[in-house]
Amino acid sequence: MTVNIISISQITSYLRELLENDVMLSDIWVLGEVSNLKRASSGHYYFTLKDDAAALDVAMWRTYTSRLTHNLQNGDAVLAHGRVSIYEPSGRLQFYVDMLQPAGVGLLHARFEELKQRLAAEGLFDESRKRPLPPLPHRIGIATSAQAAALRDILTVLARRYPLVEVVLSPCLVQGERAPDSISAALYRLYAQDVDLIILARGGGSIEDLWCFNEEIVARTVFASPVPVITGVGHETDTTIVDYVADVRAATPSAAAEQAVPDMAVLAEAVTVLRQQLDEAMSAQLWMHQNALHSATATLQRQNPALWLARSRQQVDDLVQRATRQVRYLTERRQLQLDGLRQQLITLSPYATLHRGYAVVQRTSDGGVVTAPAQVQRGERLRLTLRAGELAAVAAPPAPIEEQHTDD
Amino acid sequence: MTETSTETYETLYTRLQETVAQLEVGNLPLAEALALYEQGVQLAAACQRLLDSAELRVQQLQSDQPDDQ
Hey, are the CB atoms on B56 and A275 less than 8 Å from each other? Answer: no
User: In chain B, at which residue ranges do the beta strands (DSSP E only) sit?
Assistant: 57-60
In angstroms, the CA A26 to CA A185 distance is: 40
Count other C-beta atoms under 10 Å from residue A159's C-beta: 17
CB B41 within 8 A of CB B69: no
Among the partner residues B2, B33, B57, nearest to A282 by beta-carbon distance:
B33
The answer as to whether B60 is a domain residue is no
Beta bridge partners of A186: none
Contact status of B8 with chain A (Cβ, < 8 Å): yes
What superfamily in CATH does domain A8-119 come from? Nucleic acid-binding proteins (2.40.50.140)
Burial class (CB in 10 A: 0-12, 13-18, 19+), A49: buried
CB A164 within 8 A of CB A173: no
CB A218 within 8 A of CB A183: yes
In angstroms, the CA A376 to CA A362 distance is: 10
3-class DSSP assignment, residue A138:
coil
Hey, are the CB atoms on B20 and A136 less than 8 Å from each other? Answer: no
Cβ neighbors of A127 (< 8 A, separation 6 or more) are none
The answer as to whether B61 is a domain residue is no
User: Residue-wise over A186-195: b if at least 16 C-beta within 10 A, else e?
Assistant: bbebbeeeeb
Cβ neighbors of A235 (< 8 A, separation 6 or more) are A204, A251, A252
Helices A253-260 and A149-161 pack at an angle, to 10 degrees, of 30
What superfamily in CATH does domain A138-262 come from? Response regulator (3.40.50.2300)
Residue of A278, A280, A290 best to disrupt the B interface, most CBs of B under 10 A: A278
Contact status of B55 with chain A (Cβ, < 8 Å): yes
Name the DSSP class of A378: T
The answer as to whether B63 is a domain residue is no
In angstroms, the CA A246 to CA A122 distance is: 15
Assign 3-class secondary structure to A318-369.
Answer: HHHHHHHHHHHHHHHHHHHHHHHHHHHHHHHCHHHHHHCCCCEEEECCCCCE
Residue of B53, B63, B67 best to disrupt the A interface, most CBs of A under 10 A: B63
Cβ neighbors of A289 (< 8 A, separation 6 or more) are B30, B33
Burial class (CB in 10 A: 0-12, 13-18, 19+), A211: buried
Task: Compare all CA atoms of chain B with the CA of A180 and give the residue at the minimum distance.
Answer: B68
Q: In what order do the strands lie in the sheet with B57-60?
A: A248-250, A229-233, A197-202, A139-144, A166-171, B57-60
Structural domain including B32 reads 9-53
Indicate the domain borders of chain A: 8-119, 138-262, 354-407
ipTM of the complex as predicted: 0.78
408 residues of chain A, pLDDT tens digit each: 678 888 999 999 999 999 999 989 999 999 999 999 999 999 999 999 998 889 999 999 999 999 887 788 888 889 899 999 999 888 899 999 999 988 877 677 778 888 999 999 999 999 999 999 998 898 999 999 998 899 999 999 999 999 989 999 999 999 888 999 999 999 999 999 999 999 999 998 887 788 899 999 999 999 999 999 999 998 777 789 999 999 999 999 999 999 999 998 998 999 999 999 999 999 988 998 899 899 998 888 888 888 888 888 889 999 999 999 999 999 899 999 988 988 888 777 777 777 778 888 888 888 888 888 888 888 889 988 888 888 888 888 765 555 444 444
In angstroms, the CA B40 to CA B28 distance is: 15
CB A236 within 8 A of CB A136: no
Contact status of B12 with chain A (Cβ, < 8 Å): no
User: If interface means Cβ-Cβ distance under 8 Å, which residues of chain A face chain B?
Assistant: 136, 138, 146-147, 155, 158-159, 162-173, 182, 185-186, 189-190, 193, 264, 267-268, 270-271, 274-275, 277-278, 281-282, 284-286, 288-289
Count the domains in chain B: 1
Task: Compare all CA atoms of chain B with the CA of A176 and give the residue at the minimum distance.
Answer: B68
Hey, are the CB atoms on B56 and A159 less than 8 Å from each other? Answer: yes
